[in-house]
Amino acid sequence: MKMLLAARTWVWEDDWGYEQWHFTPLRTWLGSANWTAAAQSHLEFGLWTDDPELMDANRRFLLDVISQPLDSVTDGPEPELRDSDWDNQAFAEYVAEMGTVDPTWRRTTERWSARQRQA
């Protein structure tokens, strides 16, 4: 499911010097389309509507999706990613046990592991 909320938005400074934001939903779109060139060859569904209740529900949903905690260090809706250590050898052994090893995958994994060891 994809969702789009078309809106008019503006910001201004009020009489006391504070920024005021205004957001007015105009229409909302719901659908299954991937918004790619390949979508032309698929059976897709899409719906534009200006129903106020549906636009408000979509606005609230989208705000929930992109909202960050108050102590977030990001300026936008980007996730706060953490560094991770990957055990590439364990992954390779697991895939080998499953019998689905792609030789190109193994070479790629070995190159990536070598770069990680150098870092």
pTM for this model (two decimals):
0.48
Residue bearing the bigger pLDDT, 102 or 92? 92
Give the pLDDT mean for 95-103: 66
Give the model confidence (pLDDT) of 8-18 as tens digits.
988 888 888 88
Question: Is 45 exposed, middle or buried, given 0-12, 13-18 or 19+ CB atoms closer than 10 A?
Answer: exposed
Q: What residue type is 6 in one-letter code?
A: A
Give the pLDDT mean for 40-65: 87
Output Rg (C-alpha) for the chain, integer angstroms: 23
Under 8 Å between Cβ of 6 and 27: yes
> In whole angstroms, what is the distance from residue 41 CA to residue 39 CA?
5
> In whole angstroms, what is the distance from residue 85 CA to residue 91 CA?
12
Q: What is the pLDDT of residue 55?
A: 93
Residue bearing the bigger pLDDT, 9 or 43? 9
